[in-house]
Structure 1
C-alpha cells in the first residue's frame, strides 16, 4: 500500500502527465481554463520533458499517466473493458437522424480502438455534431470538445497520499472535475485500492495537503473545502492536523495567487520551511488533535506562530519570490530539492499583476525584483539556503507556469522513504 509521511522522505516514484493537445485549448481561453496567461506550448512541452529527464537523472522512477493506463490496458482485459466503458461515457453524437446510429456503431467498434484513442476520448470529451447540407446528401460535421482537461499536467491535485494510503480528491472547478476519473484509472493500473473518494458537495485538491511526519497541514480556500478536509482526516493517522485558511495577497481578492497551500509554503528538509513570514502571519490556522473519539480543536493561531512554536526554522522569501513559485519546488530527499528558476518567472508575474491592475502589489514586486537583481540572490541561489545545507538543482519551467503552477504542482509523489 502506498503511504507517505513527510515532504522530505526520500522520493522513489513520482507520477506526471506529459501535456499534449489538451494544452492547446487552454491557450485559446486562458481564464476559462484557469491559466495565468497564453504561452508557447511547444516550449512548455519541452520543459516538461526536461523536468522528467532531470528527475530520472536524480534516480527517481517517473510514471506517466497515459503510458501507465495504455500499458495496463494492453496486458489486462478487465482493465481494458473498464477503459472502454469510461470512454463511452465521454463521447456523444448529436444532429440529424443518424446520431443514434453513430453512437450504436461506436459502441460496437470500441474494441477495435487502441487504448491511446480511448484515453484521448476521456481527455477531450468530444461531441460529434452532424447534419446533412441543404440540397445534398453530404454530411457536415463539427467536433465539439467539451472541457478538455488542459490542467491534467498539474498532477498533484487529483489525489493525496496520506500516512494511511490514497484518498481520491474532488476538484472544485467544473473544468477539472473529470480529472479524477483518470487518476482512479491510474491507481487501478497500479493495483492500488484508494481508501476514500471525496464525496459531494465537498472538495479536496492535492496542492492543499502537506505531511510533516508528526503532523499534516491542509489548506482550505477556493479549491479545498472544510468538509473535504474532514472527510480526508479520517484516513490519516497523524495525531495533529492543521487547517490553514489560504490567505489573500495584498487585498487583491485574487484567490489564484494562493489557490493552494503549495503556492506559499513548502519544506526542503526536516525542521525547515520556505515561506514569506508576512503571508504566514496572515494565514489563520486551526490546530486539531486526535483523540479516541475523533479530532477536536485545540488552538486557533496563525501558521507563523505555529511553526515557531514547533521549533521550525523559517527561511524567508520575498513576496516577489513567492509569487514566482519559489515554494513550488519538489523535495527529492531531506535537504535536496528540484526548484524552478525563480528569476525566469518574475517578468511573467509582473505582467500578470499589471494586466490585473494590482498597482500597489506590482510596485512592491518591482522593488523586490530590482533588489534581487542588485544582490544576485534569487531563490534558491542564496547564502541562507547553502548555510542550511540544502542542495538544489534548478530547471526552467517558465512556460509551464503559464498554467498557474510550478514543479510541486506538476508532480505527485507516490513512493517515498
Structure 2
C-alpha cells in the first residue's frame, strides 16, 4: 500500500503537448533570482546580450525578477500549475525552453551548450514527477534546444542551421543530426526543418531559434519574419501552411525586439510584451485576449516569453 501511494505521488505529471496554442495546464517558468554578475563579452552566448554588455545596459536582476513575477501572476490568473527551477547561486536560469521540450507525452532533454548543464539539474524535482520511460535524451551528436522545436499537430517544425560552418556559430543551436533523431523518435509525424539565418555579431540578422522568427498563435494564425529564413521556399511553405491572410509579418526591428516570442495560454489568450503595439493590436483584431507584461529587460538577452517557459500539459 505504501509503495502504491509513493508511486501515485511521484507520477503526478502526465505530459501532453501537441501544439503551441491549446489550453495550458502546467508549465515550468524560469527564474531570474540569483542571476549572477553581468557576464563578460567573452561569456555572452548571443550577439544581443553582447550588444547590451558593450552599451553598459545589460539587464539588472531586480528588473528581470519583477518581469518574471508579472508573468507568474498572469499564469496563476488562468489557473495554470507553475513549476519553478531550484535556485542555483549566481546562475542564469531564465530560459527554460532551451533545456528541454515536450512532444505528445515525451519529455526530451536538450543537448545544450556545456556551460548550461546545471539548468536541467535545477528542474529535477519536476522531472521526478514524470514517468521515467517518458524522459528521453537524443544522441550526444544531436545538438538541440527547445526554442527550435514546435509541435504542430501531425507536424514537428524544427529550426536548424545546415551550413558547413555550423561549428563557427555559437548561435547555431540545433543541427541536422537532431532533426533526423526527432524523425526516428516520432515516425508517425512529419518533421519539417527550416534553415535559419545566423549571426554571431548582428542580432537583427540572427534567428537564434525558430521561435525568434516564427510562432503559431490563435486558431490557424502565425507570426513570421521572412529574413529569419535562409531558404525562401521554406519561408513560403510556412506561409502557405497557414494562408497568407492568416500570417502577421514582423519587421527586422520587431524580430530584434522578439515579437514572435510571445506565449499562448490558449487559442484565445496570449501573454505579450506591453511595447509590441502593432502586434498586440493585430492579436486583438483576431479575437485574442492579450495579457500585456513588461519584458523588455529580459529581451536584452535575445529571449522573451516563449523562451522563458517550458509547457508540460496542454488540454
Q: TM-score range by the shorter chain?
A: 0.7 to 0.9
Please state how far the C-alpha of 1:395 moved relative to its aligned partner.
0.2
The C-alpha deviation readout for 1:60-105, integer Å capped at 9, x for no partner, is 1111122xxxxxxxxxxxxxxxxxxxxxxxxxxxxxxxxxxxxxxx
Q: How does 1:258-337 map to 2 (within 5 A)?
A: 258-276=207-225, 278-279=226-227, 282-284=229-231, 301-309=233-241, 311=243, 313-337=246-270
> Residue 2 of structure 1 contacts residue 161 of structure 1 at CA under 8 Å; is this kept in 2?
yes
Q: How does 1:396-407 map to 2 (within 5 A)?
A: 396-407=294-305
Match of 2:76?
Answer: 56
SS of aligned partner of 1:156: helix
Please state how far the C-alpha of 1:309 moved relative to its aligned partner.
4.7
The C-alpha deviation readout for 1:186-227, integer Å capped at 9, x for no partner, is 311445543421232221100001111131201113111111
Residues 43 and 310 of structure 1, relative CA distance in 2, 3 Å threshold? closer
Residues 270 and 311 of structure 1, relative CA distance in 2, 3 Å threshold? same
Q: Using the alignment, how far apart are the partners of 1:159 and 1:198 within structure 2?
A: 11
> Residue 203 of structure 2 contacts residue 256 of structure 2 at CA under 8 Å; is this kept in 1?
no
Q: Using the alignment, how far apart are the partners of 1:411 and 1:164 within structure 2?
A: 17
Residues 409 and 308 of structure 1, relative CA distance in 2, 3 Å threshold? same
Select which of 28, 39, 63 maps to 1:43: 63
The C-alpha deviation readout for 1:8-46, integer Å capped at 9, x for no partner, is 11111111232222x123x14255042613122111111
Is 1:163 equivalent to 2:104 in the alignment?
yes
TM-score of the superposition, structure 2-length normalised?
0.80
Please state how far the C-alpha of 1:167 moved relative to its aligned partner.
1.2
The C-alpha deviation readout for 1:237-290, integer Å capped at 9, x for no partner, is 5532211111247x96659831111111111123111112x326x4438xxxxx
Select which of 378, 381, 386 maps to 2:278: 378
Is 1:180 equivalent to 2:120 in the alignment?
yes
The C-alpha deviation readout for 1:291-311, integer Å capped at 9, x for no partner, is xxxxxxxxxx31223431553
Q: Using the alignment, how far apart are the partners of 2:116 and 2:204 within structure 1?
A: 17
Residues 50 and 232 of structure 1, relative CA distance in 2, 3 Å threshold? same
Q: Using the alignment, how far apart are the partners of 2:137 and 2:270 within structure 1?
A: 30
The C-alpha deviation readout for 1:302-347, integer Å capped at 9, x for no partner, is 122343155362112222112111111111111321111235xxxx
Please state how far the C-alpha of 1:168 moved relative to its aligned partner.
1.1
> Residue 397 of structure 1 contacts residue 406 of structure 1 at CA under 8 Å; is this kept in 2?
yes
Match of 1:340?
Answer: 273
Is 1:24 equivalent to 2:72 in the alignment?
no
Is 1:246 equivalent to 2:203 in the alignment?
no
Match of 2:3?
Answer: none
RCO comparison, higher one (Cα < 8 Å, 6+): 2
Q: Using the alignment, how far apart are the partners of 2:44 and 2:29 within structure 1?
A: 19
> Residue 166 of structure 1 contacts residue 194 of structure 1 at CA under 8 Å; is this kept in 2?
yes
SS of aligned partner of 1:415: strand
Is 1:387 equivalent to 2:276 in the alignment?
no
User: Paired residues, what number?
Assistant: 282
Residues 175 and 331 of structure 1, relative CA distance in 2, 3 Å threshold? same
Is 1:7 equivalent to 2:25 in the alignment?
no
Select which of 156, 162, 183 maps to 1:233: 183
Q: Using the alignment, how far apart are the partners of 1:201 and 1:180 within structure 2?
A: 18
> Residue 83 of structure 2 contacts residue 126 of structure 2 at CA under 8 Å; is this kept in 1?
no
TM-score of the superposition, structure 1-length normalised?
0.62
Residues 177 and 164 of structure 1, relative CA distance in 2, 3 Å threshold? same
Segments of 5+ residues of structure 2 without an aligned counterpart are: 1-13, 53-57, 162-171
Segments of 5+ residues of structure 1 without an aligned counterpart are: 67-119, 125-147, 286-300, 344-376
Q: Using the alignment, how far apart are the partners of 2:141 and 2:98 within structure 1?
A: 17
> Residue 165 of structure 1 contacts residue 235 of structure 1 at CA under 8 Å; is this kept in 2?
no
Q: Using the alignment, how far apart are the partners of 1:5 and 1:309 within structure 2?
A: 17
Residues 215 and 265 of structure 1, relative CA distance in 2, 3 Å threshold? same
